[in-house]
A and B are shown apart, each in its own frame.
Chain A
């Protein structure tokens, strides 16, 4: 289903939950609504579902304005955060519910339920009640129930929030495969950036009720369009005075410019590790954390503290070590503008061409 949202506003009492949100979604895409808790993601999702009224703006499905349609008539499937399974119905009963209210024939319902049970890997659990299932199984029942009436749009509200880390990972890729196979337009809400980056075709970053940026995970990572997005995606450090960093001296042309530096922009090592020593400055290692697949190194340069990753293959650094620090690039921003700047000293001032 093709979805178009324009000028969407929503207020709860005095709280402005959603402000001027505009976006368009192509058919068959999987979209992640990402942002901090309380940022308005769920409100947007609920307005798409018709569970919340719209204050201002238009929601258009397939060229048809649906603002005034109740949820029953929108042709959507909704997976709730805590699944909201009908607790007095069995797995089968839950999946069949939407078909029964749509007055499908008994035989058709039976076939469709069997198909979905198969699809979601719930065979053998048809007669169980929700309280007899694990979190992951409940999630799949909720998914099957939402899909049963063949909706055109699937909405998922924090679908993995209540599941433990290991199974969450499995379920994520399972969901991705499933949605790819069905080709159904889907939107899910999450506050977990890894989840959004891993699963979504496109991410929409929502903050304080506004859509900050929409794009593929890579676009958003590579080219954040606002300081909020830059800071929200990935781990990063903010340096108050960008021009104090070595190689970024000309940032002082724009007074009041701050720098946001991601761990992967920073490299630490011994002086012999760098080709152009002049682009580095010396710092001292403050802390080293083992992250399972890499080291997370906190290093202090002057009064700024930067964070970087270090491969386990490289020589181990210890707190207190003197190291050379190279900042490859920085994301600079001030009140009016933001841009990415490369380290000016990294280019060899006297290149030798042979």
Chain B
């Protein structure tokens, strides 16, 4: 759930503002899941969302820090395994490192998987010698018995190496100091390849040196020319402003180099293979000199992983965990919700008296108290407690490293649906916020699969819709209190979530068989080791970063929506109110779907933020057109019953909550990400059609 101010707030821009007046800009690079975001947050004091799974930094972020009164800018770039880019995200990372003009690159490495991390670090050293290696997760590696001799590593590489445990705030000051004191190293390690490749590079280096004039490293450019990736060559030409391969001197050297490679038995199109193998050979040599300890997987970790992925236990454990989280959320939120609701009512009455005492017009008082205040009160009291419990619990699981295991378990389903396994991760982000989930789809390489993931993201309920489900379940389906009821409520909620996941798979399958035909490409999913979450930090972070932000957004929409509804419910046209006319007109359609005109109106008006759906519904039902102010939430059940609700109505409303058009923020994000009106319209129509079909079916079988 990558939901933070950064991901959907005003800072969610593609362009980055680098601190003006900074005396030096450092890029922060690294493999996915090496704690790069933690290092970034630790250095800059910003709150980029972190989690224990790959591919989270979907937006490039910039921040700064100070050493001795001087400012240093830091640019966080998406995690990547290599500078050979596949996805748009990896391209962004590669382009910033190769052409972004940072003064130096801090490469964050995982001490527990140094060899693979060196693949990226050694590639970056081919671009520039201005590199600092931050070997993070030293503490975790040590726990596994792995020791990294960072002094030896620094001596071999010729660049500063900082041992770190960023989650424990270790090494942060040293890294800041290293950035501040950085001098271009007199010697930096360069990976050496087999002899024929080196000879080919030599042939190209001379003409390139003259041509590039220091704007690009000649060895780096020579290797890319030999490798011959068209995308990368085009990008290099665009950066330089002229075509390298069309330069006569380069072209003739390239032809001779190609001939030389052919004679050495290296076919064109396989130079890349030799280069990767060569880098890994160098990485292996370095690691043999600096790393000691077991290379295997821990026995205990293996047991846990096998338990979480076995045929008999994998999926059931996943569902049980989900139900457990919902149980704790529903059980824990019940009391505080009632308390808050009562508080808002009392304060509302006091405000009403206050306004009357001040001589405010009666209509104005009604509009403010019955319209704005009560809807606001409902949204806060119903949303805040579940979010304050659910978010920290979910963040704990995320920190632990459980999400990639879920993606691993569900991969077969996504494969059969013709979709990318990583879609499971973007779906998980959608549980937090569909707009964030849509942005997250950038981690998917293939365009076809990215569109499938984007269009189907809103089929899982976001946190704006969870409270609707919780309210419907606890108000109507399972009304009595007590632990048994809470268990049933948690199971019912789990059922609705599973319905959303099944709908996602069905819709993906439908799309990949029709408008988005193609073979599923396979994802490379890394399964990071489990990490003990830092409970205190998780709670603070998820409360501040997620709960308050989401609540603020909901309240900002709820207040004006409350006013609008109050006006619609009180403005009269002939015999009935405006609201009455609208709900009356929609009633036949609503009834057909097992809902009614009021429910459908509430969903339509809830377009800017789904959080307002239930209060709008209640206001519309209340005879006087205002939210009557019930003493507790259970009393609302009576209102619904009086308006002809049955269990079928509640089930249909809950299903329609999961399956209907996405909110405006999500739709705008889809338009921005896909750049296509067609896919945006499809993203609205597809879930609506599915919801309508399911609801109509249920209404006609059971109604």
A and B pair up: no
- B: residues with CB less than 8 A from A are none
